[in-house]
């Protein structure tokens, strides 16, 4: 598997991503940003995993990342958007105040732009985002409820999922109508990135 930042990423963006990872390593020793076992393999486990989410998305005017935690994929999205002529507005939603402090520190240190909302997802007024992401946050059915609340009509949701993604789709279909395109993960042969649209709850 490829374990470097793609060649179309600029030197400035790579430097920002390296700054981000250095901060993640430093803060993980103090608060639980990411699993300590993933820090040594962080380019693949966190950076590349987030870059593939960004690459799978349509061009966005407003990108919302829910449960951002240690910054993946939301902070990486914010960094990558700095390369675009018209970067998306990026919103990071995280209920843990210590992690919000980290997110604001990382934005300042990397020079990326994003709004950090310190609140539970269900308490945030609808965001009207045209792209929404969430990584390792909740079962698909729960994520679809969040997406239905925070996506604009016609918006796209992007959810990385592990080996049991088919079971999650089957369970979510009991309550939701949606289209789901599984994209093979470049970081895990058993995982996929679900690109989802047309989200609507079942009547009744």
Q: DSSP assignment of 12-74, as one string?
A: HHHHHHHHHHHHHHHHHTTS-SS-GGGSTTHIIIIIIHHHHHHHTSPP-SEEEEES-TTTTTH
Task: Confirm or deny that 159 is annotated as ligand binding.
Answer: no
Task: Confirm or deny that 121 is annotated as ligand binding.
Answer: yes
In the chain, domain spans = 11-201
Question: Average pLDDT, whole number, for the chain?
Answer: 91
Task: Confirm or deny that 122 is annotated as ligand binding.
Answer: yes
* pLDDT tens profile 87-123: 999 999 999 999 999 999 999 999 999 999 999 999 9
* pLDDT tens profile 22-77: 999 899 888 888 766 666 667 777 899 999 999 999 999 999 999 999 999 999 99
| Residue 105 φ/ψ, nearest 5 degrees | -65, -45
CATH of 11-201, one of 3.30.1540.10, 3.40.50.970, 3.40.50.150, 3.40.190.10: 3.40.50.150
- Measured distance CA(59)–CA(188) in Å, rounded: 25
Q: What is the DSSP letter of 175?
A: T
More confident of the two residues 2 and 115: 115
Instruction: Yes or no: say if 109 and 42 are a contact pair by the CB < 8 Å rule.
Output: no
How many other CB atoms are found less than 10 A from the CB of residue 83?
A: 13
Q: Is the pLDDT of residue 4 over 50?
A: no
| Residue 170 φ/ψ, nearest 5 degrees | -60, -40
């Amino acid at each position: 598997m490829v374990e470097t930042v793609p060649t179309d990423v600029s030197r400035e963006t790579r430097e920002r991503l390296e700054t981000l990872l250095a901060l993640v390593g430093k803060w993980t020793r103090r608060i639980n940003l990411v699993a300590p076992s993933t820090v040594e393999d962080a380019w693949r486990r966190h950076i590349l995993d987030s870059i593939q989410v960004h690459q799978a998305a349509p061009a966005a005017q407003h990108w919302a990342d829910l449960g951002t935690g240690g910054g993946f994929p939301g902070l990486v999205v914010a960094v990558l958007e700095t390369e675009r002529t018209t970067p998306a507005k990026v919103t990071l939603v995280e209920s843990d105040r210590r992690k919000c402090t980290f997110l604001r520190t990382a934005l300042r240190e990397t020079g990326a732009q994003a709004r950090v909302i310190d609140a539970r997802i269900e308490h945030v007024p609808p965001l009207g985002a045209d792209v929404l992401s969430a990584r390792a946050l909740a079962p698909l059915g729960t994520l679809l409820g969040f997406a239905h609340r925070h996506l604009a009509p016609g918006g796209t949701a992007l959810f990385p999922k592990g080996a049991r993604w088919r079971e999650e789709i089957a369970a979510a279909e009991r309550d939701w109508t949606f289209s789901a395109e599984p994209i093979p993960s470049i970081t895990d042969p058993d995982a996929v990135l679900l690109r989802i649209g047309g989200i609507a709850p079942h009547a009744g």
